[in-house]
């Protein structure tokens, strides 16, 4: 039986690569892709997802429009890193029409997919968690019917990439992150900012990856040109003591999902993790949006999450190569 996935994105170059990984796996069925404001506007996210599906010859996969703004927070985007359109401001005169976007809203699509496949669907979120927060408020029983949830977001050591202490996806909608980590009680796996930095790949792999010279690798090379230049700049390195190199943050969450055997409690991709209860700070002057790990059991939460620590990087590289063949 194929693994059934719903992918929630704010595409984003690394979201694009995450989608491509899922589509390259023969034992994975992508039920649908839901889109959320984040790296760029939800309108651009929809366009970007359709561009990825076109390059992968998978425009049969339904795409859904989700939330266009955070629940409470001021809207922020990552235009300084990914470009104003999220894809490096690389024009595509032959991009698919937005007429392909489904009429059904993203939140209802998630509910319907899960209800039609109870206990079978894994949800992978590589975006601010707005869509997921709205979904669980519409259907509070949703998480009991999900097989698992995989998230790229948050942090473990108060090292931020957007604020001093906050990672982008959680800072972009702290209330949504709080709701999701509070109300989704299915098995939950989180790829945090510090984790992706410590497991980043050398830039030499990036050059090797693009040297495949396929239509897909050339697509990723073009849309990632701005973010690569930014990541290799002295300014970025000076403000990032973790020493990230080629870091496709969202792809780690997807790699964990497609290699998961939830029933057997096995994941060949994750080699080390820590299980702990978590929440999100909503009120701190400097710490709003920061994920908090409860090692002292002060939260009295029954539900814990798995925080990824180390992964099989050789497997990861192989998956990235297969994704652009």
**Residue ranges of E strands in the chain:** 3-9, 28-35, 63-65, 121-125, 148-152, 188-191, 260-261, 266-267, 270-276, 278-280, 291-293, 305-311
**What are the tens digits of pLDDT across the range 3-30?**
999 999 999 999 999 999 999 999 999 9
Candidates 291, 260, 67, 52; CA nearest to 149 is 260
Peptide bond into 147 cis (omega under 30): no
Instruction: Answer left, alpha or beta for residue 277, where phi above 0 means left and psi between -120 and 50 means alpha.
Output: beta
Active-site choice (8, 10, 15, 85): 10
pLDDT of 180 > 90? The answer is yes
CATH number at residue 265: 3.90.245.10
DSSP 3-state of 30 = strand
- Domain interval for residue 228: 3-323
Residue 138, both tokens: 């519409």
If pLDDT is split at 50, 70 and 90, which confidence band does 241 have? low
Q: How far apart are CA 6 and CA 242, in angstroms?
A: 31
Spatial distance between the Cα atoms of 5 and 24, rounded to a whole number of angstroms: 13
**Catalytic residue list contains 294:** no
**pLDDT tens, residue by residue, 65-107:** 999 999 999 999 999 899 999 999 999 999 999 999 999 999 9
pLDDT band (50, 70, 90) for residue 120: very high
Q: Given pLDDT bands bounded at 50, 70 and 90, which one contains residue 1?
A: confident
273: pLDDT confidence band, cut at 50, 70 and 90? very high
List, in order, residues 6 or more apart from 204 with CB less than 8 Å away: none
What's the token pair of residue 190? Answer: 């989180």
What is the domain count for the chain? 1
In this prediction, what percent of the chain has a pLDDT beyond 70? 99
Give mean pLDDT, residues 313-320. Answer: 97
pLDDT digits (tens, 9 = 90+) for 184-235: 999 999 999 999 999 999 999 999 999 989 999 999 999 999 999 988 888 7
């Amino acid at each position: 039986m194929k693994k059934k996935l719903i992918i929630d994105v704010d595409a984003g170059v690394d979201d694009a690569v995450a989608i491509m990984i899922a589509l390259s796996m023969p034992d994975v069925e992508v039920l649908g892709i839901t889109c959320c404001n984040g790296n760029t506007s939800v309108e651009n996210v929809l366009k970007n997802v359709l561009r990825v599906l076109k390059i992968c010859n998978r425009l049969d996969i339904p795409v859904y429009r989700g939330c266009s703004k955070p629940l409470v927070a001021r809207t922020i985007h990552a235009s300084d890193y990914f470009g104003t359109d999220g894809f490096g401001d690389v024009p595509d005169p032959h991009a698919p029409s937005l007429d392909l976007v489904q009429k059904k809203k993203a939140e209802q699509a998630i509910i319907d997919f899960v209800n039609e496949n109870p206990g079978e669907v894994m949800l992978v979120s590589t975006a601010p968690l707005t869509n997921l927060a709205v979904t669980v408020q519409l259907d509070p029983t949703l998480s009991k019917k999900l097989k698992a949830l995989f998230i790229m977001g948050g942090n473990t050591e108060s090292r931020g990439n957007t604020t001093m202490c906050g990672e982008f996806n959680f800072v972009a909608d702290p209330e949504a992150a709080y709701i999701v980590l509070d109300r989704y009680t299915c098995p939950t796996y989180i790829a945090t900012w510090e984790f992706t930095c410590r497991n980043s790949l050398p830039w030499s792999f990036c050059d090797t990856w693009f040297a495949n010279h396929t239509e897909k690798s050339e697509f990723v090379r073009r849309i990632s040109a701005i973010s690569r230049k930014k990541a290799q700049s002295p300014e970025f390195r000076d403000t990032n003591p973790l020493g990230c190199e080629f870091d496709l943050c969202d792809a780690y969450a997807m790699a964990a999902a497609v290699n998961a055997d939830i029933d057997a409690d096995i994941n060949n991709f994750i080699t080390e993790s820590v299980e702990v209860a978590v929440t999100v700070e909503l009120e701190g002057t400097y710490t709003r949006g920061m994920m908090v790990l409860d090692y002292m059991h002060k939260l009295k939460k029954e539900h814990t999450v798995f925080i990824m620590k180390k992964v099989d990087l050789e497997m990861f590289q192989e998956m990235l190569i297969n994704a652009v063949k």
